[in-house]
A and B are shown apart, each in its own frame.
Chain A
Amino acid sequence: MMKKTPLLCLFFLACSFLAFAQERTITGKISEESNKSPIPGATITVKGGKKTVTADANGAFTIAVPQGKLSLIITSIGFGTKEVAVGAETGTVEVLLSVDNKQLGEVVVTALGITRQSKTLVYAAQSVPAGQLTGVRATDNFLGSLSGKAANIQFVQGSGGLGSGATLILRGNRSIAPASGGNSGNPNNALIVVDGVPINNTTFTTGNNDFGSVQSSDGASDINPDDIESMTILRGASAANLYGSQAGNGVIVISTKKGHKGRTDVTVNSGIGFEKPFALPQFQNTYGQGNTGLIAADSSLSGASWGAKMSGQSYTNFLYIKDTYSPQPDNVKDFFKTGLSLNNSVGVSVGGDKTQNYFSYTNNYAKGIIPGNDMNRHIFTYRVISDFSKKFTLDAKATYILQVINGKPRTGEENSPVFDVYQMPRSVSSATAKNNYQTLNTFGIAAPANWPSTNNSIYQSPYWMTNNTFIGESRERAIGFASLRYNITPWLNIRGSVNLDRTSDEIQQKYQQGTLLWNTNAGGSFAVTDVTLTNKWYDLILEGHNNITPALKIGYHAGAIYYDRLYNQNNASTNGLNVANKFSMNFASNPATTQDGAEILTESVFGQANISWRDAIFLDASFREDWSSTLPRPYTYNYPSVGLSALLNELTTLPQAISLLKVSGNFALVGNGGIPFVTKSSYQFDQGAGNGSIQRSLTYPIPNLKPEQVKSYEFGVEARFLQDRIGFTATYYHSNDHNELVPIPLPVATGYATQYINAGNIENHGVEITVNGSPIKTKTFSWDFSLNFSLNRNKVIELSPNLQTFFLGGADNRTAQPEVKVGGSFGDLYGYVWSKNAKGQHQVQADGTPLTTKNITGSDLSYLGNSNARELMGLTNTFQYKRFNLSFLIDGRLGGIILSGTEMNLSFSGVTKNTLPFREGGLSLGGVDATGAAVAKTITAQQFWQTASNQRYGVGEFFTYSATNFRMREFSLGYDIPLPNTNIIKSLRFSAVARNLFWIYRGSSVLDIPGIGKRKMWMDPDMANGNGLFQGVEYGALPSTRTLGFNLKANF
């Protein structure tokens, strides 16, 4: 019980604040004037008296006052001060406060659904207005809408088409924890909390290497932005500490809509968007299919475009048909469809006095840019809040999501349709390719037709892939909670809630007979995977606040959480079907089934207190103790946080121009219980080897597993000037991730491949700055801007004495190898390079081709760069002129590299633009031989690019680009359609929106190849093969898209 002392102290502290006078009692409710939503934390004072109380989270207050008429003074940060006259007999008052823009005082939802005024926070919190999430939408994953809108967000979209998982990282990477419990997504993903509870945001499969994979949806992609009422980004561990283990990565806190008292609202939103590929490789349109400058004698054998100059010659094409040898500049573009997204939602809010209801239905229907890829998602939400007695309030919500995604393209190099289409010879027309991808046998079964592949064991016609293979994902998800709150006294309440988040996915993969790589037996191959994730979260929280003196106030929370995560997976697959292309397990010729599953139980108790003095100095402290089933006995660990902030403008007299000046600092620890099943050894069964076989697990158990710990501190300053017309925040943060659970390789001769150890110290530190302002504000015209800037520096300070380098995925050295190395940074990429001698001169071989380190057996991989941005920034400008609203977002990043495996491989085939110069020879690289003597020999483009590329296993340096870029991320032009006051429709807004409009700046290739020069980056570094830890390399990733859309929003 000793460890519980902080909790008990809090409790006794709370109890000692009780003080009552025997006077009459007035109760009241304080709400915002415009939307009637409650304002928590307002201060209520009796005019001329000393008594002060604070409104609770629902805006309710009770105050004991003397008999007789009097006035109450109500003040709240961000709202005007209001004086309310109270009659002698009145027992209740309703107070409406209007927003005072001068104070710009935000109320934010922080950890565990606790609402706080932003000025009282001791840590950085940034809100993103809900309107910014529903205007210009990111089609694949709603998290994409956050890019550039808040500081220090690095967003990467996994490349599996509609509904794909994504990665959103706040304040840099810190964890190299391996995939576990059905999640192969990035362990550095921010935690997403909806209505007080972390939601399941796992990714079942993703491309954690450059061969490719099926990219699953994540949990965040099903969030309906139309249901969001507010979103707060808590970047630091201090802010997130109460969420426990996953909070070290920062938290995105989302509160969803609810009904409001005495109001009936209907909102209808309807949007349509059109999408086109935004960043395609650049192709050459001069030379056609062939080799060494000649049209091949047999065009069906190889698809390289190192042939003759295309001038409409007659030749025999890959189908052995006479054809014209002429440029087909659009044969890649033609493959892509214009994506379409339809978004229709209706939200109804009906608020009675005691019960408020909110219902919404949203339908997202989208067709992707890859033929056959579509998604249909239905989201139903119902929420009810009911004060069913004076003391009890029920808040319950149910969300049901039904989502079907068809025709998901594989991501990566192998069998991804985009990678297949990119390789089409430059002389093959879209029509020829599209109409001749298959032949039917006498039974009507398709077989692949001749195809001019650049590697006929892997690359197939893209039209075969989109027509004769199928990957589908269907998801059912139910999220619900019921929370009951009991007001013990006006200043103390207890609430208990039960939360359930259950996601059920079925992933089907069908590959018709004849599909390369995926079916080696007759009939085709078929796999069905069912994954179920169930999160159960029960909590009980005691919440209270007291004014010890008018100047000294305290708010506190104490509670317990029971959190159970259960994951189950069933796979059935068959390589071979007895009836060709009959995709049912009943027809399986080699059926195989496997099961997987894991459970993690975490139980916690926590306490938190925030003390304010004169509404100017704020002290926050929290403590949490967890018991995690993943740990050895006694399973427990704990972590505190403490923070302090001061409003200097309240404490001293500052020049008039300064309307607010706040300084803050905090320190926090966050623990993480690690992954299941690593404390004990086990034996696995395999279906193969006759009767099946059993082997000991390759992982040496870690019986003394310790929790991972993120230690962080931050300092911030916030200032507002000229009556809040302009303001800024600046935050410095520093975090160290200790005791990470790292799977280190053991010498295999021990009989084990890996051992988990607690090791390491990965440090992130950086600065975040936001500036907001309203330079112009007149009755008819206003201009607001919001700028954010962040920089993050990451350093791997320590791993373990036995581990100096940790390899993250992609270990085949085909493109680049991400290595976490002591002294380096997370995201460092290593690969083969163009060899240099001691003098720094590039070396070439006797035939004039570059000598690469790939040619030297056992040569170490060289440092290519780091894939993470060094600085991130975003600038939103909003202009309002009468009924017109124009807004645009420019965002960008500085630093970091991206390596294009796509370009590497395509360069081997001569289809890309970079392979155009020196086709007929004469390229002198100006390099030296082993003795340092200049080599005069010239080479052809084909010799050069085929050496640099080596096709599938290349020399990464040649295809590495600076990922620095700026773009017009979002653009929106809205018009509020004038309506007569009597109209049933209260407001009606039409807007035209666009996303990824154009590049403002793009980086270039890192190598300046003599004679060829630097090339501009063509790919979008925000589009990655997957959303796991393997980042910085794109290899067959889908092109990102440009969206143009229209939106109509009506309020009734």
Chain B
Amino acid sequence: MNMNRINKFHLLLLGSLILFSLSCTKNYDEVNTNKNSIATIGPSTLPFLFSHAEALSTVNNANYQIAQNLFADQYAQYFACEATYFGSDRLVINQAWVGANFNPYYTDVLPQLQTIFQNTDSASAEHAMAEVVWVLTFMKATDYWGPIPYFNAGAVAVSVPYDAQDKIYADFFHRLDGAIAVLKTHAGGNAYGSYDLIYGGAVDKWRKFANTLRLRLAMRVSKVDPATAKTEAEASVADGVMTSSPDDDGFVKRSSTGGDINGLSTMSDWNEFRMSATMASVLKGYQDPRIAQYFLPTAKSADPTPGKFANYQGLRNGLSVAQLTLSANLAAANSHQGQRWSSTGVTVGGTIVGSASYTNTPQNVIETAEAYFLRAEGALLGWNMGGTAQTLYESGIKNSMAQWGITDATAVSNYISSPNKPIAPGDYLNSPAVSDVPIAWSSDPAVQLQQIMTQKWLALYPDGMEAWADWRRSHVMKLYPAANSDNQLIPDPSTKWLRRIPFLLTERQNNAAGVKTGEAALGGTDNELTPLWWDKN
């Protein structure tokens, strides 16, 4: 063997190895592309983004418990917590969880809506509907925290500044005014078709929805900015809010497919919350037929027939760990959420009472009854709401009944004229009746407002998010003080109450500079006691 041969042979070999390696990087880009996703968005895929934004803006099942149920739903006193370990019902905010009402709006809703904004004509119905969903989404966030990142949201930066709530609300009105004007030009039209999970793309219904949302926001600012409130409210009613349940009601479709389950249904078998004593006091006191829709008789009741008031039981919000372990306060001794959110594993007296389709139960977004109660309140304020406070109040009740499938006209009219008042709920703490507000329209204007707010609270069920915001804004309807507070800032829950959610710890960690601007915009200490801009109580 001679040296030259080896040399050449190996040079050739090594050279070819290196070339082989270099030339093979040609397909690297393709190798490093995820075959199970798509790289770019076009007209055919845009409607799917709208579906995603709608599904997530309405608090989906993955977020429902920690975004809403453990906080707003309990603070609105729809439900009381059964689990000893959460603590939120005793007014301690777990800041790791509550981000579920914040993070998905920015990461799941915002990118899709901004992509739609960029890829549609601003005069199109598609664009306008996306604007409405935008307002619906960020309303939920700002009503928990006050200042939130808003005007600069969606820009990639190491921090995103927060904006003051008044500026955000001004933008809400601006966007809604614009969207409503655009939707008007598409009367009778359809956008997104079946990709719209609320109205199947019906533009006219979206216009009513947008007006009702604008009316809701107008009422929210009625104490802090009465002039804007009146203008926006009257414009909404004039343009047309929801008037007829169930046709106008806004429900978002839910289904088992892809796990897009109704959030309340998801929690059916967790047994971590039950009917609150407040609900028990009002529903049982009013002999309210909606009780059979809202809740189930306690599991221990021998009789599974819905609507027998004695078989429903609620517990007070804020029970201590020790109190919760007592038999009267166990989940089995109190009322489960209603049949439409209950799995077939839920039994009363040994009989299965759940519904096989419970995961697909549509989820409340905004309903007609609320529009009437908002108008009734507006009428009391002297706004032109197209009716008297009393007729609007009574229409609100009728529409709420209709929404829940209670169509017996006599029963409904008997209810409306009933002098019934809330009663002592018969709970473990022997609580008194939560209030003495009757159903039948009172002649006393002070009572009238309480009546409107009580019925609105009942009608909004199970949307604790709106009910809690509305309660903080109006502070008219009476709720029980939390039985115990573990929150050091609220030693006595009968004199102080939660006004907001403190800024997220994750935001302090990941967006520290942004939170600083939020603190400035809040105009008070970043804790649970600082009222939001629209909270003048």
Partners in one complex: yes
Interface residues of A (CB under 8 A from B): 1, 4, 7-8, 11, 15, 18, 291-292, 296-298, 301-302, 304, 306, 455-458, 488-489, 492, 494, 514, 516-517, 520-522, 540, 542, 558-560, 562, 575-576, 589-590, 592, 595-601, 603-605, 627, 629-630, 633-635, 676-677, 679-698, 700, 745-753, 802, 805, 811-813, 854-858, 908, 942-943, 946-947, 950-954
Could you tell me if A750 and B321 are in contact, using CB atoms closer than 8 angstroms?
Answer: no
Pick the contact of A747 from B11, B37, B149 — CB < 8 Å?
B149
Residues of A within 8 A of B511 (CB): 747-749
A946 to B27, CA, bound (A): 60
Given A603-B24, A689-B54, A752-B107 in contact, is the A677-B17 Cβ separation under 8 Å?
no
Could you tell me if A692 and B48 are in contact, using CB atoms closer than 8 angstroms?
Answer: yes
A418 to B232, CA, bound (A): 60
Residues of B within 8 A of A600 (CB): 31
A833 to B11, CA, bound (A): 67
Could you tell me if B528 and A605 are in contact, using CB atoms closer than 8 angstroms?
Answer: no
Residues of A within 8 A of B159 (CB): 747
Distance of A263 from chain B, by nearest CB (Å): 34
Residues of B within 8 A of A575 (CB): 256, 259, 359
Could you tell me if A812 and B25 are in contact, using CB atoms closer than 8 angstroms?
Answer: no
Q: What are the 6 A-B residue pairs with the smallest beta carbon separation, nearest first?
A: A688-B258, A688-B260, A687-B258, A749-B149, A747-B511, A693-B52
Could you tell me if B152 and A522 are in contact, using CB atoms closer than 8 angstroms?
Answer: no
A747 to B160, CA, bound (A): 7
Could you tell me if B45 and A947 are in contact, using CB atoms closer than 8 angstroms?
Answer: no
Residues of B within 8 A of A522 (CB): 344, 356
A718 to B493, CA, bound (A): 71
Could you tell me if A629 and B271 are in contact, using CB atoms closer than 8 angstroms?
Answer: no
Residues of B within 8 A of A812 (CB): 96-97
Distance of B534 from chain A, by nearest CB (Å): 22
A-B contacts at CB below 8 angstroms, number:
307
Q: Name 22 interchain pairs, CB-CB below 8 A, sorted by A.
A: A457-B270, A520-B268, A520-B359, A590-B256, A627-B21, A627-B25, A635-B25, A680-B39, A683-B38, A683-B39, A684-B36, A685-B38, A688-B55, A688-B255, A694-B51, A696-B115, A751-B107, A753-B103, A946-B322, A951-B83, A951-B85, A953-B86
Residues of A within 8 A of B344 (CB): 522
Could you tell me if B41 and A683 are in contact, using CB atoms closer than 8 angstroms?
Answer: yes
Distance of B39 from chain A, by nearest CB (Å): 6
A1035 to B528, CA, bound (A): 33
Given A494-B13, A751-B110 in contact, is the A516-B269 Cβ separation under 8 Å?
yes
Task: Give the most central of B3, B268, B333: most A CB within 10 Å.
Answer: B3
Could you tell me if B48 and A857 are in contact, using CB atoms closer than 8 angstroms?
Answer: no
Could you tell me if A855 and B49 are in contact, using CB atoms closer than 8 angstroms?
Answer: no
Could you tell me if B28 and A950 are in contact, using CB atoms closer than 8 angstroms?
Answer: no
Could you tell me if A689 and B149 are in contact, using CB atoms closer than 8 angstroms?
Answer: no
Residues of B within 8 A of A598 (CB): 34
Could you tell me if A562 and B24 are in contact, using CB atoms closer than 8 angstroms?
Answer: yes
Could you tell me if B93 and A857 are in contact, using CB atoms closer than 8 angstroms?
Answer: yes
Could you tell me if A697 and B37 are in contact, using CB atoms closer than 8 angstroms?
Answer: yes
A722 to B476, CA, bound (A): 93
Distance of A541 from chain B, by nearest CB (Å): 10
Could you tell me if B17 and A690 are in contact, using CB atoms closer than 8 angstroms?
Answer: no
Could you tell me if B332 and A301 are in contact, using CB atoms closer than 8 angstroms?
Answer: yes
Residues of A within 8 A of B28 (CB): 601, 627, 629, 633, 635
Given A457-B269, A677-B32, A747-B507 in contact, is the A689-B55 Cβ separation under 8 Å?
yes
Could you tell me if B49 and A693 are in contact, using CB atoms closer than 8 angstroms?
Answer: yes
A4 to B112, CA, bound (A): 47
Could you tell me if B32 and A747 are in contact, using CB atoms closer than 8 angstroms?
Answer: no
Residues of A within 8 A of B502 (CB): 857-858
Distance of A199 from chain B, by nearest CB (Å): 22
Give B489's nearest chain A residue, CB to CB. Answer: A857
Pick the contact of B14 from A8, A592, A684 — CB < 8 Å?
A8
Distance of B197 from chain A, by nearest CB (Å): 5
Determine, out of B126-134, B207-215, B323-331, B417-425, the stretch whose residues face the partner at the interface.
B323-331
- The answer to whether the Cβ of B84 comes within 8 Å of any Cβ in the partner chain is yes
Contact with A along B255-274 (1 / 0, CB 8 A): 11111110001101111100
Residues of B within 8 A of A952 (CB): 83, 85
Distance of B94 from chain A, by nearest CB (Å): 8
Pick the contact of B52 from A489, A562, A689, A942 — CB < 8 Å?
A689
- The answer to whether the Cβ of B479 comes within 8 Å of any Cβ in the partner chain is no
A691 to B333, CA, bound (A): 41
Could you tell me if A302 and B24 are in contact, using CB atoms closer than 8 angstroms?
Answer: no
Give A573's nearest chain B residue, CB to CB. Answer: B259
- The answer to whether the Cβ of B450 comes within 8 Å of any Cβ in the partner chain is no
Could you tell me if A689 and B157 are in contact, using CB atoms closer than 8 angstroms?
Answer: no
Distance of B360 from chain A, by nearest CB (Å): 10
- The answer to whether the Cβ of B253 comes within 8 Å of any Cβ in the partner chain is yes
Given A521-B356, A689-B52, A813-B96 in contact, is the A597-B25 Cβ separation under 8 Å?
no
- The answer to whether the Cβ of B514 comes within 8 Å of any Cβ in the partner chain is yes
Given A11-B11, A560-B18, A682-B37 in contact, is the A456-B152 Cβ separation under 8 Å?
no
Distance of A750 from chain B, by nearest CB (Å): 5
Give A745's nearest chain B residue, CB to CB. Answer: B510
Give A589's nearest chain B residue, CB to CB. Answer: B256
Give B49's nearest chain A residue, CB to CB. Answer: A694
Residues of B within 8 A of A603 (CB): 20-21, 24-25
Distance of B101 from chain A, by nearest CB (Å): 12
Residues of A within 8 A of B258 (CB): 592, 686-689, 692
Could you tell me if A520 and B51 are in contact, using CB atoms closer than 8 angstroms?
Answer: no
Could you tell me if B505 and A752 are in contact, using CB atoms closer than 8 angstroms?
Answer: no
Distance of B224 from chain A, by nearest CB (Å): 25
Could you tell me if B257 and A629 are in contact, using CB atoms closer than 8 angstroms?
Answer: no
- Besides A522-B356, A750-B153, 15 more A-B contacts (Cβ < 8 Å) are A301-B332, A489-B6, A542-B13, A560-B20, A604-B21, A679-B32, A684-B36, A689-B55, A691-B194, A696-B111, A747-B160, A749-B106, A750-B160, A951-B84, A951-B85
Could you tell me if B486 and A748 are in contact, using CB atoms closer than 8 angstroms?
Answer: no
Residues of A within 8 A of B96 (CB): 811-813
Pick the contact of B10 from A542, A747, A954 — CB < 8 Å?
A542
- The answer to whether the Cβ of B144 comes within 8 Å of any Cβ in the partner chain is no
Distance of B208 from chain A, by nearest CB (Å): 21
A86 to B330, CA, bound (A): 95
Pick the contact of B107 from A456, A748, A947 — CB < 8 Å?
A748
Contact with A along B309-328 (1 / 0, CB 8 A): 00000000000011001110
Contact with A along B235-278 (1 / 0, CB 8 A): 00000000000000000010111111100011011111000000
Give B106's nearest chain A residue, CB to CB. Answer: A748
A291 to B22, CA, bound (A): 73
Contact with A along B44-61 (1 / 0, CB 8 A): 010111011011000000
Residues of A within 8 A of B272 (CB): 457
Given A15-B6, A696-B111 in contact, is the A943-B322 Cβ separation under 8 Å?
yes
- The answer to whether the Cβ of B114 comes within 8 Å of any Cβ in the partner chain is yes
Residues of B within 8 A of A605 (CB): 17-18, 21
Contact with A along B89-128 (1 / 0, CB 8 A): 0001111110000110011101110110000000000000
Given A682-B38, A685-B37, A692-B258 in contact, is the A750-B154 Cβ separation under 8 Å?
yes
A291 to B327, CA, bound (A): 9
A20 to B374, CA, bound (A): 104
A8 to B106, CA, bound (A): 54
Residues of A within 8 A of B86 (CB): 953
Give B197's nearest chain A residue, CB to CB. Answer: A690
- The answer to whether the Cβ of B297 comes within 8 Å of any Cβ in the partner chain is no
Could you tell me if B52 and A747 are in contact, using CB atoms closer than 8 angstroms?
Answer: no
Pick the contact of A950 from B18, B39, B84 — CB < 8 Å?
B84
Task: Give the most central of B35, B93, B94, B510: most A CB within 10 Å.
Answer: B510
Given A522-B356, A693-B51, A748-B102 in contact, is the A592-B259 Cβ separation under 8 Å?
yes
Pick the contact of B266 from A520, A691, A858, A946 — CB < 8 Å?
A520
Contact with A along B389-406 (1 / 0, CB 8 A): 000000000000000000
Pick the contact of B38 from A296, A597, A694 — CB < 8 Å?
A694
A292 to B320, CA, bound (A): 14
A644 to B107, CA, bound (A): 53
